[in-house]
Amino acid sequence: MKTPTNPVVLWLKIKPLLHNPKAPCATKLKKGLEERVKYPLGAGLYKLQEAKHRMGQCLEEFELLANLLKRKEPLRGLCTYGDHAPWIKERPLSIAYELGWKVLPAIEALIGDGVSAHEIAQHSPALLQGVATLVNQCEVVLPNIKGPIRYEYERWRNDDSIITPLLQSGLRIIESAVYMAKKDVFA
């Protein structure tokens, strides 16, 4: 069994794909990778499923809050009771951190779930590029969401958001990795 790639090595792989490796979201991605060094993964599928569940919950929360706003009801979500504005504003940073803490290391650790090293090596470049693109998008969104929250609320009233596409992209990346794992393990 091959040992999963050290998260520090993952940073060296993804760093050239980032527009600005010292920007806030890239820094959070790196911090997540650095934290993972302390708690290496022996397998990755469970961590991908955990990340998918968490990102899915966030997306559901956004949809719930947007629907409440449209109906002019108090914004009381399932996990953001009374603190929805700071929670919303932190999403780009949180997404980037989760990608470093869970997603990238979990993809590499799929070897522990029986996924072949060849399969991981074949799909890793596209998944790395997807993560880098998402982090770059988080960098673009961050200053826009850090402004007055009313701008995001206006977007919600028009069935739009600058955060939900980030969550949807994250879910697609995770689902691609999960699919690869299940396809290879059950082949």
Return the closest-CA partner of residue 95 out of 45, 44, 141. Answer: 141
Residue spans of the domains in the chain: they are 7-185
Question: Residue 172: what pLDDT?
Answer: 98
- Dihedral of the CA atoms 114, 40, 7, 182 (nearest 10)? 20
CA angle 52, 55, 56 (to 5 degrees): 80
- From first to last of its 187 residues, the chain has per-residue pLDDT tens of 456 667 788 999 999 999 999 999 999 999 999 999 899 999 999 999 999 999 999 999 889 889 988 998 877 766 655 678 888 999 999 999 999 999 999 999 999 999 999 999 999 999 999 999 999 999 999 999 988 989 999 999 999 999 999 999 999 999 999 998 876 555 4
Residue 80's pLDDT is 59
Among residues 127, 137, 131, which one has the least CA distance to residue 163?
A: 137
Among the residues of the chain, which ranges form H helices?
7-14, 24-38, 45-70, 84-89, 91-98, 104-108, 117-146, 150-157, 164-185
